[in-house]
Structure 1
Amino acid sequence: MANRQREIQLKFRVTPEERALIEAKMDLLGTANMAAYLRKMAIDGYAVNLDLPELRELVSLLRRSSNNLNQLTKRVHETGRFYDADMEDLRQSYDRLWEATQKILRALMKIQ
């Protein structure tokens, strides 16, 4: 009997769908050794949850800002006037966008 370097065996069950997903990912990496793949993923792999409420907030801010900018552009074309209050509203809107972007970047930097 050969002396094995790895003497502890781990077992777990998967559904046929999960096995197909594992095999598809192995194909993408060009590996056929499932044990080596699963060992590598268990040790070095990442499980990342990117459900960031900050991202939803950023999308909402972007949508509102683009609507406000479109309305302002339409009014300037119609009246030829641009007010200081309009510029202040735009500046505040972009400040909120930048703050939301920074929150997301900080959250992403925490992912190791």
Structure 2
Amino acid sequence: MAKNRYRDKEVKFFCTADELNRIDQKAAIAELDRSKYLRKMALEGYIIKRDFSSVEELVYEINKIGNNINQIARRANEVEYVTKDEIRYLKKQLEGIYSQIEKFYDEG
């Protein structure tokens, strides 16, 4: 490598032919050559990483409510009635789910 270059450090990485093609397409859209595009993305680009742990918790809670609804429906089919307490319990659980959904969207 020439010693009088401004950028005298070489960086290498491996990619597939498809990945290289996508990089070249994006570089062309940005009207940059591959080297300039990759340098700009490495130095100024960003990666968005979302934390979906709250979604996993929400799915878990929804599954629990689904199980409870199935149990109450089974009971209603067996004895042909559901108590007000059972309905209140389900409403309280649904309110908890709604608040978790709102929290997720507020954080997002």
Q: Given the two structures, how large is their TM-score scaled by the length of structure 1?
A: 0.65
After superposition, the CA RMSD in angstroms is 3.2
Look at both structures and tell me which one has the larger radius of gyration over its CA atoms: 2
Partner residue in 2 for 1:68:
68
Q: Given the two structures, how large is their TM-score scaled by the length of structure 2?
A: 0.67
1:46 deviation in Å? Answer: 4.5
Runs of 4+ with >2 A deviation: 11-15, 17-43
CA contact (8 A) 1:58 1:97 kept: yes
User: Structure 2 vs 1, CA of residues 12 and 102 (structure 1 numbering), >3 Å: closer, same or farther?
Assistant: farther
Partner residue in 1 for 2:3:
none
Structure 1 residues not aligned, in runs of 5+: 1-7
User: Structure 2 vs 1, CA of residues 14 and 97 (structure 1 numbering), >3 Å: closer, same or farther?
Assistant: farther
Partner residue in 2 for 1:82:
82
User: Structure 2 vs 1, CA of residues 100 and 20 (structure 1 numbering), >3 Å: closer, same or farther?
Assistant: same
CA contact (8 A) 2:27 2:37 kept: no
Aligned equivalents of 2:106, 2:83: Cα separation in 1: 35
Q: Give SS of 1:50's match.
A: coil
Aligned equivalents of 1:79, 1:30: Cα separation in 2: 69
Identical counterparts, % of pairs = 17
Number of residue pairs matched by the alignment: 100
CA contact (8 A) 1:52 1:104 kept: no
Aligned equivalents of 1:28, 1:72: Cα separation in 2: 55
Aligned equivalents of 2:79, 2:26: Cα separation in 1: 58
User: Structure 2 vs 1, CA of residues 14 and 51 (structure 1 numbering), >3 Å: closer, same or farther?
Assistant: farther
Equivalent AA in structure 2 for residue 50 of structure 1: R
Aligned equivalents of 1:73, 1:59: Cα separation in 2: 21
Aligned equivalents of 2:27, 2:81: Cα separation in 1: 59
1:15 deviation in Å? Answer: 2.6
Aligned equivalents of 1:26, 1:55: Cα separation in 2: 35
